[in-house]
Amino acid sequence: MADLDYIEQNGQKFIHVSTISTAAANEQFMQNVQLVQRQRQALVALSQILSPKEKELMAGAIKDREAALNKNNAQMTQSYGFSLARNYVHQIVNSQVFIKLTDEEYNKAKEEGVPADQFLVRANDKFRLIAKIPGAVENDLFRHNVQIVQAQRDRLVQMNAALAQMQDGEAKSKLEEEIKTATQRLEADNKTMTEKYGFSLTRNYLLQVVESKLYTAVNEEEFLKAQQAKPAEEAPAKE
């Protein structure tokens, strides 16, 4: 019997319900998630802003919206094991990092013979593949490191804004030293990100999810039941 595929976060267990195995399928999944989340948010907003009388007058329209949401949510459950009624973890397994190009950079790369599958074109935006990130651990680490350098940059913006408002000479000198140290740290971390992934805060980039796994939250009874069940089939892969 194969081991149950699950992860645990802060004492909450999540079991694997589906694998989304192509870039197109992952993009479609995220669009579908955003759709049902917007539908739910719209219903919540109506509930909060409408008076009892207005709710009564709009009962038919509200019922139609609820029916549409329930239908889409049921389709999400059938297709992915996803439901708005549960928490879930969307774990990136394989991804690709693309850097945004200027028209000049794009044309030059094409002239140099860069393979067509290294480019990604979205409307008027053009991107070039700079890194492939394999494995859930590496993808978690990449996103964590991106968040770190982005937070460092945001903090520097705040510090420089505060410096511009300072009048006290001693406090200003102290903050200038802190900014210098923070800048050096950010430059070093950003250099590491560039060397490892081709990522830099000075450029725009796009993260394309190629393969991911969806895990849904379960209580202890559901977890034990899933453990004891015979794994007759693997969780479905969506392509």
- Residue 120 confidence (pLDDT): 95
Average pLDDT for 17-46: 96
Q: What are phi and psi of 120, to 5 degrees?
A: -135, 125
For residue 86, give the nearest of 214, 231, 234 by alpha carbon: 214
| Local confidence band at 129 (pLDDT 50, 70, 90 cut-offs) | very high
- Residue 238 confidence (pLDDT): 67
- Boundaries of every domain in the chain: 6-238
Residue 32, pLDDT above cutoff 80:
yes
Structure-model confidence comparison of residues 3 and 162, the more confident one: 162
Instruction: Report yes or no: 205 and 97 within 8 Å, Cβ to Cβ.
Output: yes
Residue 234, pLDDT above cutoff 60:
no
Residue 153 CA neighbour count, 13 Å, CB half: 12
Q: Distance between CA atoms of 216 and 88, rounded to whole angstroms? A: 4
| Local confidence band at 236 (pLDDT 50, 70, 90 cut-offs) | low
Residue 1, pLDDT above cutoff 50:
no
Average pLDDT for the chain: 92
Q: Encode pLDDT of 146-197 as tens digits.
A: 999 999 999 999 999 999 998 888 889 999 999 999 999 999 999 999 999 9
Residue 141, pLDDT above cutoff 50:
yes
- Residue 230 confidence (pLDDT): 57
